[in-house]
Amino acid sequence: MSLDNAKRRQLAKIRQRTLPSIQEFVSAILDGDLAMLSRAITLVESNKPAHHELAQQIVNACIPHSGNSIRIGITGVPGVGKSTFIESFGTHVTSQGHQLAVLAIDPSSEVSKGSILGDKTRMQELSTNSKAFIRPSPSTGSLGGVANATRESIVLCEAAGFDIILVETVGVGQSETLVHSMVDFFLLLMLAGAGDELQGIKRGIMEMSDAIAINKADGENIRKAKMARREYANAIHLFPPNANNWTPQVLTCSAMQKEGLGDVWNTIDQFVNQTKLNGWFEKNRSKQSLRWMHDTLGSFLTDSLYQNENMRQIIREKEYAVQHNELNPYQAAKELFASYLKMQS
Amino acid sequence: MSLDNAKRRQLAKIRQRTLPSIQEFVSAILDGDLAMLSRAITLVESNKPAHHELAQQIVNACIPHSGNSIRIGITGVPGVGKSTFIESFGTHVTSQGHQLAVLAIDPSSEVSKGSILGDKTRMQELSTNSKAFIRPSPSTGSLGGVANATRESIVLCEAAGFDIILVETVGVGQSETLVHSMVDFFLLLMLAGAGDELQGIKRGIMEMSDAIAINKADGENIRKAKMARREYANAIHLFPPNANNWTPQVLTCSAMQKEGLGDVWNTIDQFVNQTKLNGWFEKNRSKQSLRWMHDTLGSFLTDSLYQNENMRQIIREKEYAVQHNELNPYQAAKELFASYLKMQS
């Protein structure tokens, strides 16, 4: 028995070592094979050019099978209860017969290349739910940039049959705009009485939200949460109307007590129905596709320069010269660009 | 007399029409000719490829004559009294024998291409000061991006003899990080008792500030301002120490009453002395030069694709195909990149 186990582990290791072909990846993903989905996302997030290349071919083959989902962005400062909310909300959504994938986007990982809190252990209930797939945050910067990596992961999850995609922002600041550029619905989690400044919420983030859910509306907090709800609802009316003609909703919920989650889900459902009717849903996706195209093109361009071994050597030389005041930054860039063009021809 | 005036106007018009040569621009700028400096900055901010090309050659020729200034970034939400502060502070600085240039950076202009409030009329006293040069905010997106345009404008102003450069942020959000990446000293203006959320100040902006000046510390506001000063000073001590070993200072001032401006100036002076001694000043500039080099290289790359007439046609075709679901964004980007490479060879 123990020998069998050892053998099995060995076989698994071999399987891990040899990379499946594109076709193997794609058909496994379309079959809903979560292990292969995970491995494909790892390739998407990889910073190795060979992995990156393979990932893009898998994604490209999966695109025709993608798009048929509701993409929801979720943000909120640390402490707002994001993980608990996703856990409870996700459980509610899957109980309605949906298949849920949870992704995280973390622009800071691109800079710091550090590991991130967002791991499965935060969502114990959801991670054992057969209808849910939780993907821990990427811990290193992917070659094509976080935005592209997340877009590509969405495609893979959709191809694997997930019809609800939650994209959680991990970083604070830029990530909200990024997520907003790739989801259908944007949900902002807040707390009552914590003060906007404490919640680090910029006006801009409130303005891009389709709904605000005031979490932790339980126990003694209920009254405060209801008051905050009224205040935010009033504040939102002062904002200029959204391009999608949707009036952002303000709700209260308790992820801990599993209350109010149905309201959040119904709001999203209502939003999708309304914006599909008025054409915004498709229009928004089409706009997002254009941005995706330009971002991808930009990353191809950058990669063709920065991933080229010869260029890398020249870049290091110019960096040295600039740092030692032997060359001005503009001239250095000009010479680097000339080298790049020469390499292409 | 009126005929002479008409003639003069006509001549001026002709001068405006025919663009001076690079050499004419450069020698005029080095002579401190403000009209020519203005025109050169207009070229820097232009979105016409020919102007952009000319501008870059002028900048390149001015770089050896640049760098000998203190570059100060200033931010603060609308209502904090930024214009009045720059007016009073600028007057103080020029009274100390300095030559001051005021530039504005506005990332929103890149997107909206709209005109911006930041014009000379805001600073009436300073705009008639012979030792000051105020450059209204760019109203259109420049080809190389706002960051590069501002860096290049700094170079031109320094070459023209300005030894203090103020870079004012007009947009809110990303512009602070941009400005921070090109100045020696970063000053945050705040108000007492307005609440951080109202001031739209993110923690990150406070953390990158070398000094916070609480403005409008006059009349009944003095007590509140002093209290706020204490609070911010305490808050700042909770932040991790800056890489430059400088403890950010919190000051109060009244731009309206022209009080406390000497303190702000002395703080900057002290900062410059200290960071020049400990090596940070040069180290920071060198780091900024590297970023400048990479940003410029990036803009060369993007321009070589997006400014190419043939490419533009192909891009429009692909955009159409993506918007009409005839082509997926990834494939479109791939085909665009292939066309680009083909054009280079």
Return d(Cα A262, Cα A12) in angstroms, integer. 41
Residue of B330, B334, B335 to mutate, testing the A interface (most A Cβ within 10 Å of its Cβ): B330
Establish if A297 touches chain B: CB-CB under 8 angstroms. Answer: yes
Q: What is the DSSP string of A36-55?
A: HHHHHHHHHH--SHHHHHHH
Average pLDDT over residues B211-226: 92
3-class DSSP state for residue A70?
A: strand
User: Which residues 193-222 on chain B approach chain A with CB closer than 8 angstroms?
Assistant: 195-197, 200-204
Tell which of B285, B293, B296, B304 to mutate to test the A interface (max A CBs under 10 Å).
B293
CA of A209 to nearest chain B CA: how many angstroms apart? 17
Whole-number Cα distances in Å, B175 to A178, B41, B73, B86, B205: 17, 19, 10, 18, 10
Q: Strand pairing partners for A166?
A: A72, A102
d(CA A275, CA A297): 29
Residue carrying structure tokens 């904002």? A239
Ranges in chain A annotated CATH 1.10.287? 293-344
What CATH class does B67-278 carry? Answer: alpha beta
- Helix (H, G, I), strand (E, B), or coil: what is residue B161? coil
pLDDT tens sequence across B227-269: 889 888 887 777 767 778 898 999 999 999 999 999 999 999 9
Q: What is the pLDDT of residue B318?
A: 96
Please, are residues A132 and A98 in contact by the beta-carbon 8 Å criterion? no
Query: Is the domain covering A66-278 a CATH 1.10.10.1100 domain?
Result: no
User: What is the predicted pLDDT for the residue at B120?
Assistant: 47
- Tell me the one-letter amino acid at B217: A
pLDDT for residue B14: 59
Which tens digits make up the pLDDT trace of B70-108? Answer: 999 999 877 788 989 999 999 999 999 999 999 988 765
The Cα A269–Cα B215 span in angstroms is 48
Q: Is A267 left (phi over 0), alpha (psi -120 to 50) or beta?
A: alpha
| Distance separating alpha carbons of residues B228 and B250, to the nearest angstrom | 9
Q: Phi first, then psi: give them for residue B184, nearest 5 degrees.
A: -90, -30
Higher pLDDT, B222 or A105: B222
* Cβ within 8 Å of A, B 46-65: 56, 59-60, 63-64
Q: Distance between CA B213 and CA B186 in Å, rounded? A: 11
Coil, strand or helix at A211: strand
Which residue among B173, B286, B329 places its CB closest to the CB of A292? B329
Cβ contact, residue pair A296, B333, below 8 Å: yes
> Where would I find the H helices in A96-202?
108-112, 124-127, 146-159, 174-180
Q: Which of A69, A272, A84, A95 has the alpha carbon at shortest distance from A189?
A: A84
With CB atoms and an 8 Å threshold, state whether B63 touches A328.
yes
Residue A300 · residue B338 · CB < 8 Å: no
CA distance A10 to chain B (A): 37
Instruction: Report the candidate in B234, B235, B228 with the shortest Cα–Cα distance to residue B193.
Output: B228
Helix (H) or strand (E) holding B230: helix B221-238
φ, ψ of residue B151 in degrees (nearest 5):
-60, -45
Domain A293-344 has CATH 3.40.30: no
State the pLDDT at residue A13. 60
What tens digit of pLDDT does each residue of B286-303 get? 999 999 999 999 989 998
Torsion on CA atoms B12, B14, B17, B20, rounded to nearest 10: -80
DSSP-assigned letter for residue A184: S
Q: Is the ipTM of this complex over 0.90?
A: no
Q: Does B79 touch chain A (CB under 8 A)?
A: no
**Alpha helix locations (H) across chain A?**
2-17, 22-30, 34-45, 49-62, 82-95, 108-112, 124-127, 146-159, 174-180, 203-207, 221-238, 261-277, 280-306, 309-323, 329-344
Q: Do A329 and B293 touch (CB under 8 A)?
A: yes
Q: How far is A280 from chain B (nearest CA, A)?
A: 13
pLDDT-derived band at B337, boundaries 50, 70, 90: very high
The two beta strands, B132-134 and A164-169, are unpaired
Pick the most confident of A116-125, A142-151, A162-171, B148-157: B148-157
Structure tokens at A267: 């709001």
Among B291, B304, B305, B269, smallest CA distance to B150 is for B291
Mean pLDDT (whole number) for B168-197: 80
Kindly state the DSSP code that residue B344 receives in the 8-state scheme.
Answer: H
Tell me the nearest-neighbour CA distance from B267 into chain A, angstroms: 28
Indicate where chain A has its CATH 3.40.50.300 domain(s).
Answer: 66-278
User: Measured over all CA atoms, what is the biggest interatomic distance in chain B, rounded to whole angstroms?
Assistant: 70
The pLDDT score that the predictor gives to residue A11 is: 63
